[in-house]
Amino acid sequence: MMEREQLTALLHEVEPQMRAYRRWFHEHPELSGIEKETSAKILEVVKAQGLSWEMVGDYGIIARIEGGFEGKTVVLRADMDALPVKESRENLSGEKVSVSGNDGVSHACGHDAHMAMMLGAMLVLNRLKSQLHGTVLVVFEQAEETGRGVDQMMEALKRYPVDTCYATHVYAGLENGRLCVQPGERMAALTSFTIRVKGKGGHASRPDLTVNPLMCMAQILVNLNSIWTGEINPAKTVTLGIGAMKCGEKGNVIADEGTFSGTMRYFDVEEGKKAFESVKRVCMLVAEAHRCTVEFERILQADCSVINDVSCSERAASGIRELFGEEVLADCEPWFATESMGVYLAKYPGVLAFLGIRDEEHGYGAGHHTKEFDLDEGVLIRGCGAAVKYAVDTLEER
């Protein structure tokens, strides 16, 4: 068994590099599908370690650490993309250590930290490779926010005999430095949609000569409530959020058409599908009553909720307990955001760990995808250490 002191010493050795990586990624954020410089930075580190690697899609990467002995294969995964969020120079209490250098784009969900931690894990495991019984694949997935990178990565992983997978997501809903690796449902599946409502425009002085799509959309939104009061199983939570609505430019002109967009989140995929079929039915019937038509312009369904495997969660918790102490472990409610790690976990048993970053006193804990979002780089060593320990413990099970 690998000694705790050996792992701890290696983690402290790579901690300054992880902080440097995180700041570089934070200052050079790139949107989904165009992570060119991000990919190049990761590849620079991979090549410096002398590792075998392959590109997946345009910018995704799989780096391979071959152990000194045959054994299992573990995937450690991180996401790469940033968000179209203009970052504030301040967090909740003061100035940030690092801010985006790409105006209007920022790492407002923590993917910069995810990459930094997995690069740190790669450095540690590469130092230990002569002692490892098996292979570690360190995976960097592009375009997680849009869901357009995961299928390519899953196709590439078919060439490997993967036994388990592990990832970490920083989480503003959990106390700073705590780790949650509970089994079961952890993050939700998703249906994202844009619905176009078409009517007949004209001058607002004669609404009788028009077919007003705005009035129709208003009634659709009101009537959607009936689904949640009368059709959804209360034991199977489905949430609906309408975040955008657009129709017309002037108060005295009735537009020809309008759109509204929203998302649904759920853990039970069949209940989520049923709910969206009801949404479509209500839209079509209300539109017909208003002499409008509807088009379902954009529908994105990510039907894999994040479900942690029981035995893998136990292994992860045992490793964290051994490395950092019982007090670092925490329980928390499921998070209704969506993560493509669910696709991995639908195929391979594994764990998505939540790493807490909430510390209001020092300004950390703003919501994900907000301009004030920030994190304490001191938590990186724990996220990295938990990933390393999970890989090591898995490969020691022979």
- Asked if pLDDT for residue 288 goes beyond 70, the answer is yes
pLDDT band at 1 (very low <50, low <70, confident <90, very high): low
Q: What is the pLDDT of residues 150-197, one digit of tens each?
A: 999 999 999 999 999 999 999 999 999 999 999 999 999 999 999 999
Domain boundaries, the chain: 4-186+305-396, 189-302
Q: What are phi and psi of 303, to 5 degrees?
A: -90, 20
Per-state percent for the chain, helix, strand, coil, to nearest 5: 40, 30, 30
Average pLDDT estimate for 76-98: 97
For residue 338, the model assigns a pLDDT of 93
Sign of CA dihedral 97, 102, 103, 107: negative
Q: Which CATH number fits domain 189-302: 3.90.930.12, 1.10.150.130, 1.10.340.30, 3.30.70.360?
A: 3.30.70.360
Average pLDDT, the chain: 96
d(CA 198, CA 209): 15
Percentage of the chain lying above the pLDDT 90 cut: 94
DSSP 235-288: TS-EEEEEEEEE--S-TTEE-SEEEEEEEEEESSHHHHHHHHHHHHHHHHHHHH
d(CA 338, CA 310): 20
Instruction: Specify the fold of 4-186+305-396.
Output: Aminopeptidase (3.40.630)
Three-state DSSP at 105 gives coil
Residues making up the annotated binding site are: 109, 111, 145, 169, 369
Average pLDDT estimate for 335-356: 96
- Asked if pLDDT for residue 298 goes beyond 80, the answer is no
Which residues have a Cβ under 8 Å from the Cβ of 327 and sit 6 or more positions away? none
For residue 238, the model assigns a pLDDT of 95
Q: Which of 118-122, 230-234, 246-250 has the lowest mean pLDDT?
A: 230-234
- Asked if pLDDT for residue 293 goes beyond 70, the answer is yes
Residues making up the annotated binding site for Mn(2+) are: 109, 111, 145, 169, 369
d(CA 182, CA 308): 7
| Three-class HEC string of 330-345 | CCCCCECCCCCHHHHH
